[in-house]
């Protein structure tokens, strides 16, 4: 059973699966054209912290991250808080179209990243007991980490979002 959102599965290279109590943590890298080299676009607000940290926070309660493969140009909707995650399971999805901006590396001003995603899912049996049909979308937390492919700066957990 692959607990990764269906729309992400074709581009997700699993790195690890661990249990944290009843929760399952799934970590992997976004891949397209056998590579993780994406231009990243976001909706929301970027807050800057110390040591070249950046965090994506919500603007009108919504954040979104898209990644565009630099080789083939395919755009992958990595996360959209208006439709993705536990809170939106079983909902007739009414996607809010968010306008996105390019995410520019603070250090080198490039837009070229490796994208890592970590999902937390509640206990699978519990999800089944609740008769949630789109279990793949029932993750309760998402973290996204970017690493600049040009200068190597790592933006750990630039997205750190609870979805319940």
Chain residues in the site for Zn ion (CB under 5 A): 32-33, 69, 71-72, 74, 105, 107-108, 110, 148, 150-151, 153
- Shortest spacing between CB 31 and Zn ion, in angstroms: 9
CA distance 54 to 157: 9
Rank residues 111 and 163 by Cβ distance to Zn ion and give the closer one: 111
Shortest Å, Cβ 44 to Zn ion:
20
Closest CB to Zn ion among residues 50, 61? 50
Q: What's the rounded Cα separation, in Å, for the pair 76 and 149?
A: 18
Buried b (16+ CB within 10 A) or exposed e, 81-110: bbbbbbebbeeeeeeeebebeebebeeeee
- Tokens representing 163 are 């979805």
Question: Distance between CA atoms of 145 and 62, rounded to whole angstroms?
Answer: 18
Residue closer to Zn ion, measured from CB, 70 or 134: 70
73 vs 133 by CB, closer to Zn ion = 73
Q: Residue 132, class by beta-carbon neighbours within 10 Å (0-12 exposed, 13-18 middle, 19+ buried)? A: middle
Least distance between Zn ion and beta carbon 146 (Å): 10
Is residue 73 left, alpha or beta, with left meaning phi > 0 and alpha meaning psi from -120 to 50? left
Two tokens at 18? Answer: 């661990």
CB of 37 to Zn ion, least distance (A): 9
Nearer to Zn ion, 32 or 144 (CB): 32
**Least CB distance to Zn ion at residue 11 (A):** 9
């Amino acid at each position: 059973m692959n607990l990764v959102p269906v729309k992400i599965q074709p581009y997700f290279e699993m790195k690890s699966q661990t249990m944290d109590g009843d929760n399952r943590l799934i970590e992997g890298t976004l891949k397209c054209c056998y590579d993780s080299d994406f231009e990243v676009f976001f909706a929301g607000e970027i807050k800057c912290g110390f040591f070249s940290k950046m965090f994506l926070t919500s603007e009108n309660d919504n954040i979104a991250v898209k990644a565009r493969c630099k080789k083939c140009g395919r755009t992958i909707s990595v996360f959209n808080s208006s439709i993705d995650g536990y809170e939106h399971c079983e909902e007739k999805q009414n996607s809010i179209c968010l306008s996105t901006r390019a995410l520019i590396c603070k250090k080198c001003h490039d837009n070229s990243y490796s994208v890592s995603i970590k999902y937390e899912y509640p206990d699978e049996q519990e999800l089944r007991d609740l008769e949630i049909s789109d279990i793949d979308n029932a993750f309760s937390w998402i973290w996204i980490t970017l690493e600049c492919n040009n200068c190597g700066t790592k933006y750990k957990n630039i997205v750190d979002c609870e979805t319940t």
